[in-house]
A and B are shown apart, each in its own frame.
Chain A
């Protein structure tokens, strides 16, 4: 039986040290985790929900982290499985309360949209708030598994082998999902990318 921080009796000091160490690692790669969460979910509320859930999941298995992959890659993997679980749960709930949803109208579409952080790049300030939104919409339209591959390979620029390890799927699957994901994105962004 593997030891996990939550399930065994330990002193308060020890519990505290575990949490402190884990949080220090999280804070170090926060920007990367945030980008991934935001691009996977498409809005701040859902990104925060995903991160909160994934942080708990990560802490449960933190004692099994051996440092053979980068901590951030290890967290990408936990966030991906957590996200897929959350979407499945939400769909199940949605199916169960289909009548209620139909009568209440589509509340799901009305998510707060934020102007993306464009830094101080003047060109970006002019064109990016709009385009970032379009890109995010195009990403949102992809199936979760494709989206994860596209974000990791094309935005975070990891190679096939690293993505394969993070998502625990064969390299061939990474490659085919990436190609299909790109084709879908290219089509939904056609008006911006075709001359």
Chain B
């Protein structure tokens, strides 16, 4: 027999039922009530129909916008980089940066080795060195590439993934700070 429940209760449960987070007891009460009460059944059907309309609605093709959006993005990046680019350092000041560079170079080499071991096929070819020491950017680029590539393997080896990431980034930061002092 149908449990005593108010229409207001049933309607308050409908969203949770729709999302599959209403407990089984209440779900059964709701279903039974829907059989017995036309008002609530209509309300439920309207909610379902709204959901279906939302999911069926299409958006215009976005591929044609891709090129122009990326072009605008590149322009903005180029403008900002030009605006903010600091004056190039004199070579004489290299000595200040050298210990830092040495540390980050070591970190980068270590990380590159890890990358190579983990996913040899995905390691991009190293660009020819333009400077004696790899820049922060270079180290960060490796870190990001590593993060992106290991996203693919994380499902299989989440512990390894997390360990490698944490290890690589903490050692890079740690050494940078030491080098800076």
Contact = CB atoms under 8 A, between A and B. Distances in A.
Contact of B53 (A21, A119, A135): A135
Interface in A68-100: 71
Interface residues of B, number: 56
B55 interface: yes
A192 to B, nearest CB: 6
A160 B21 CA distance: 10
Given A52-B76, A56-B76, A194-B46, A117 B58 contact: yes
Contacts of A15: 81, 137
Given A52-B73, A67-B150, A131-B53, A5 B137 contact: yes
A15 B84 CA distance: 13
Given A47-B65, A136-B57, A155-B54, A66 B147 contact: yes
Contacts of B136: 3, 8, 10
A178 B108 CA distance: 46
B148 A25 contact: yes
Nearest to B52: A193
A4 to B, nearest CB: 10
B24 interface: no
Interface string A164-195: 00000000000100110010011001101111
A24 to B, nearest CB: 9
A52 B74 contact: no
A34 B65 contact: yes
Contact of B89 (A9, A35, A117): A9
B69 interface: yes
B103 to A, nearest CB: 15
A31 B86 contact: no
Interface string A17-37: 111010101110011001100
Contacts of A71: 148, 151
Interface stretch (B25-33, B110-118, B127-135): B127-135
Contact of A39 (B59, B69, B88): B59
Contact of A19 (B45, B51, B77, B145): B77
A87 B58 CA distance: 24
Nearest to B89: A9
Nearest to B12: A179
A179 B148 CA distance: 35
Interface of B: 15, 19, 21, 42, 45-47, 49-51, 53-63, 65-66, 68-70, 72-74, 76-77, 80-81, 84-86, 88-89, 127, 130-131, 135-138, 140-141, 143-145, 147-148, 150-151, 154, 165
